[in-house]
Structures are given as C-alpha cells and as structure tokens.
Chain A
Amino acid sequence: MPREMNLDKSKMVVVEGSYAVAHAVKACRPNVISAYPITPQTHIVEDLSQFMADGEIPNCEYINVESEFSALSALVGASAAGARCYSATTSQGLELMHEVLFNVSGMRLPVVMTIVNRAVSAPISIWNDHQDTISQRDTGWIQLYAENIQEVSDMTAQAYRISEDRDILMPSMTCMDGFILSHVYEPVVLLEQDLTDGFLPAYEPEHVLDPKNPLTFGAFADPNYYTEFRYLQEQAMQRALKKIEDVANEFYDIYGRYYGGLIDEYRTDDAEIIIMAMGSVVGTIKDVIDKLRDRNVKAGLLKIRSFRPFPAEAIKNVIRDAKVVVVLDKNITLGLNEGALFTETKSTLYNTDVRVPIIGYMLGHGGRDIRIETIERVIDEATEVMKTGIRIESQFTDLREELL
C-alpha cells in the first residue's frame, strides 16, 4: 500500500551516505562489529571506528581482523554466543566471504551486513554494479536494495528486526550502490536513537553458545538430516516475505518513513510500460517517468527492494495488466546473457496466467553512468515492443561499440 512520506526538514542534516549508515548501525546498539576496510565501504568502518574510539557505542567490541573471511568468521562465533553483530563489505571482500556466508545462514545467525555494491575483478573496478551481491544470491541471506541514503540507513534497523525474528533467523544484506550512495551528501534524518530503542528491542537468542550449558552449532549432518536443514531455511525465507512487509509497515507507524516493503510502485496504476529495477537508479527512472508522463507515455516503475526472498507474487500482481515490462540489471549471468532480475521475473511467471512480454537490459556495469537518455531509449524500445512484439529479448545497452 503506498504511503505518504512525511519529510520533516527540521530533523534533516546533510551528511555522507556512509556516515548515515554508520550512525544507523550505532543506533541499533550492536555488540560486536568486525570488518575489513575496502573501497568504497571504507567510510562506514572509519565512522564506526570513530564512534567506538569516542565511546559512543556502549557494550560493543570492534574486532580488527586481517581479511573479510576472518571478519565474518569472527561474527559466526559472536552471533552464536548471542551478540548482535554487524559487518560491512563489498566486491572482492564479499566474494572472499562466500564460504562463511553459507555458515552464517546455515546456523541461522541473524547477522546484518551493509554491502556497498561494487563490480568484481578482473579487470579491477572500484565502481558500482550489482555483480557482487547477485553472485551471493543462493547463500541464504536476505538481500534488500536501497534507493537513497535515507532508505539504506533506515533499512539497517529493519534488517535487524527481520533477521532476529524467531520465525525468520536468517542473516541480511542491506545493499547500497557504491559511491553513488556511499559517497553522496544529501539531506537525511539520522536514525533516531529513541525511536529505535522501541522499534528494535535487545536481541534475545533462543539458543546460545555458552560453555556452562554446551550446545553444538553447525554440526555434521549426514544424509538423514541435511535436507531438512535446507527445507527449513527455505521455509524461513518464505515467512520473511510477510515479515519484510510487516516490518516496513511498523517502521512507518513509528518513524513516518516508508519506501515499500518487498517492492514499491511509482505511477504503475494505469501503466502500459513498467520498468523494474533495484538500487539508486530507481531515482533517475522516477524523473524520466514524470517527464514521459507529460508526453502521454504511460510508464511506471516497479522497484524491487527484496531480491531475496524473491517477491514473485507481488511482482506478478503489479505487472499483470501491463503491456510490456522492461527489466534493468546491473549484473549478468555469463553464459545465459541475462541479468538475474530478468531471468527470475520471467521464471516466476511461466506457470501462471500472466502473459506479458518482458525485455531485459544489462547496464551500469563497473560504474558506467546510467543517464536519463538511456532510460528514455529503453522505454522507446518498449513502445516498439507493444507494436511489433519482442525483437531482442535480453541485451547490453550503452556499449561503446568503438572499443569492441
């Protein structure tokens, strides 16, 4: 349900995106932080280190480690011992965590990490795309993507509420576009400590690693048991679909801010063309839609906030009456020539009565700027699809042909 956002300018300050996130982490009262600095995540951990040095995060340990692998491994132990845990990383750092990501989710540890989305090597790129998190989509982490720094800082508190719920107990990644959001200065309401104390109660784990009362976490599971662990993780993910919506609604009731639950919609009511996207490009798309609406192009936006769990029902309900859907992906599954959101959207529709043409564009790789003209061009192509049907199902756009 669309909600009115109350922007109270008197509560806003102009700060860097990374600072807003670090401040939100502080307001969530973590007990253990462990992270390894890597561009463009660095400012978040620098700001958190500063808060620690200034004694502004009571009852918290900051564990310095020699790699991202160790950062997340340290949090496995800390979270099992009952601590509220936080880390942040990006790109190669996240890929180095790959093995540990499965351990965290398999042990049902509600760790929250901010991922400052960045392209992966080689070639080395420090700039933004979504290949790093998309490559980790099967690790059992909830993945939420943010449009602006207000959303990603507020998402930190939402993620803890979702992850720590006893019906869920799955870790979360809150994803923000590297540089575009991590290094932008814009007005934001810093996550309010008093409201967060009420919204996010202390983490009370059901099972705790405690020498006085020994338990085993992540033990050997032979073929008689392993399948059920996976099944139960998937059940938790399915319950998270509702939990993400509920938490977004409750957040709105308490803070007055809302960005959608699993998804958000913009001018989709009568839309013939619906663009689907995740992350900061959503803002640019909204501007283009307003411009095109003035020219009577009936375009709308379906913003995906939750990529894991995948909001199949919500997507289906929004695009059901559209004439064409355009999916934008800042990632590619090499060997399939499709972005992940495109593939998964098509897949969820196959056995349903929803029959709408869908085309996909892969763009914004390695920080290639996504310009207004690019969005206008893909909407033009969507208009053609309405007349002629699909010509090219999935393709790169903004390629520099002269380099090929």
Chain B
Amino acid sequence: MKEIRIHGRGGQGSVTAAELLAVAAFADNKFSQAFPAFGVERRGAPVQAFTRISDAPIRLRSQIYKPDYVIVQDSTLLEVVDVAGGLKDDGILIINSEFGPETFKLDTKARIMTVNATKIALDIIGRPIVNTVLLGAFAGATGEIRPGSIMDAVRERFPGKVGERNSEAIMEAYKMMEASI
C-alpha cells in the first residue's frame, strides 16, 4: 500500500486532488481511498488531504502518519507546516516551486523534487490552479499511476475546455518530472 499526503491552503483544491488521485488509481485497477484532514477549512489556511493506493481492498481508517509521498502545493507552507513529517526515507517530496530541490533544506532523507506548477498552470490553463498539474508531476516522479488515468479523472470531473486544458498541463508536468528522474 502507498500513502500520499497533500499539503495546500484552503481553496487550492487539495481535497479535490486527493479524490482525483483515488479515482485515477481505481481506473488503474488498484483499490483506493481518499479523505480530508477533517478540519474546519477556511480559505488560505493550511489544509491536508490523503490518498491510499493498494492492490487489495483498503480497510485501514486511521490518518496517515508515515506517507510514502508528499505533495506541497504552496512552498510558503514550509514555514508553517512540517511537510516532511513522517515521510519515509525512500519516499519522495514534491514541491511546487520555481526553485530547484537544493533550495529546500528539510529534515528528511527522502528525495525532494520541485516543479514549477504555477508557471505550467498559468501558461496552459490560464489560472494559477496547480492541484491537477501536481498530480501529473506525481505520476511522472513516482510511476505509481498512469498519467492517462489522471487526465481521464480530471476530464470527467471538469468536462469541456477546462478539463482539456488541465489534461494538457498534467501531461506537461508529467513529462518534466519523468525527465528529471
């Protein structure tokens, strides 16, 4: 079983990203589970969402304490949240940032990777909404999921032009991350 924690701010679509990841993983013939960190969400406040992916049906209901992967939507969170907390040594931490991974001195043995998801989103989608872009980056960095499954899930949730542009941005982030592995 792989466990993923997504950090973001209220309004950035962290919960949606966790859900889309679960939908995409199931389409990849895995079992999946997505849930929010049941807080009282406010726009701009730090939030978390979680996804589990497994070959077998998932029964575990506790929160995620030792994730295999962490996705950070907003690098300003690093000042207020221990985003690397509990991350496994052989895990991967993906940060949305214009800077390279060496910029981030975090207390973790896990591999840190960065992707300028905001730029990709602005260039392709036209809005700084990075949640779907980061799912593409996740697919490229981890190989846990087919990018096509993520694009299908996004197009189903956001039909029409929005879904198409998001899919394009997902593919772009996927390719960039795959190339840097």
Contact = CB atoms under 8 A, between A and B. Distances in A.
Interface of A: 7, 9, 12, 14, 16, 40, 126-127, 148, 177, 179-180, 183-187, 280-281, 283-284, 286-287, 367, 369-372
Given A281-B61, A283-B61, A367 B38 contact: yes
Interface stretch (B21-29, B133-141, B163-171, B172-180): B21-29
A284 B60 contact: yes
Nearest to B21: A185
B61 A187 contact: no
A199 B44 CA distance: 48
Contacts of B60: 283-284, 287, 372
Interface string B7-46: 0000000000011001100100101111110101000000
Nearest to B38: A179
Given A183-B38, A284-B62, 14 more contacts: A14-B19, A14-B22, A179-B35, A179-B36, A180-B35, A185-B33, A185-B34, A186-B34, A280-B61, A283-B59, A287-B59, A367-B38, A371-B63, A371-B65
Given A12-B26, A14-B26, A126-B40, A183 B35 contact: yes
Contact of A186 (B29, B40, B58, B63): B58
B57 interface: yes
A148 B57 CA distance: 11
Contacts of A148: 59
A367 B37 CA distance: 11
Given A9-B29, A185-B34, A186-B58, A369 B22 contact: no
A190 to B, nearest CB: 14
A273 B33 CA distance: 29
A369 B61 CA distance: 9
A7 B40 CA distance: 35
21 contacts: A9-B29, A12-B26, A14-B23, A16-B19, A126-B38, A148-B59, A180-B35, A184-B33, A185-B18, A185-B19, A185-B22, A185-B34, A186-B34, A186-B58, A283-B60, A284-B59, A284-B61, A287-B60, A370-B62, A371-B62, A371-B65
A348 to B, nearest CB: 28
A187 B26 CA distance: 7
Contacts of B61: 177, 180, 280-281, 283-284, 370
A186 B62 contact: no
Nearest to B31: A187
Q: Which 3 A-B pairs have the closest CB atoms?
A: A283-B59, A179-B38, A185-B34
B63 A369 contact: yes
Contacts of A370: 61-62
Contacts of B38: 40, 126-127, 179-180, 183, 367
Given A9-B29, A187-B26, A187-B31, A369 B36 contact: no
Contacts of B59: 148, 283-284, 286-287
B62 A183 contact: no
A356 to B, nearest CB: 26
Nearest to B50: A184
A184 B34 contact: yes
Contacts of B36: 179, 183
A185 B50 CA distance: 10
B65 A184 contact: no
Given A9-B29, A370-B62, A185 B57 contact: no
B110 to A, nearest CB: 21
A92 B22 CA distance: 32
Contacts of A183: 35-36, 38
A372 B57 CA distance: 17
A343 to B, nearest CB: 25
Contacts of A280: 61
A310 B160 CA distance: 52
B57 A7 contact: yes
- Among B19, B31, B59, residue most surrounded by chain A Cβ atoms (within 10 Å): B59
B145 to A, nearest CB: 13
A372 B65 CA distance: 11
Contacts of B65: 371
Interface in B63-83: 63, 65
Contacts of A372: 60, 62
Interface in B112-159: none
A187 B53 CA distance: 11
Nearest to B22: A185
Contacts of A369: 62-63
- Among B22, B57, B61, residue most surrounded by chain A Cβ atoms (within 10 Å): B61
A141 B97 CA distance: 55
B39 to A, nearest CB: 9
Contacts of A180: 35, 38, 61
- Among A9, A148, A187, A280, residue most surrounded by chain B Cβ atoms (within 10 Å): A187
A7 B61 CA distance: 20
A187 B22 CA distance: 9
Given A127-B38, A367-B38, A185 B62 contact: no
Contacts of A367: 38
Nearest to B27: A14
B34 to A, nearest CB: 4
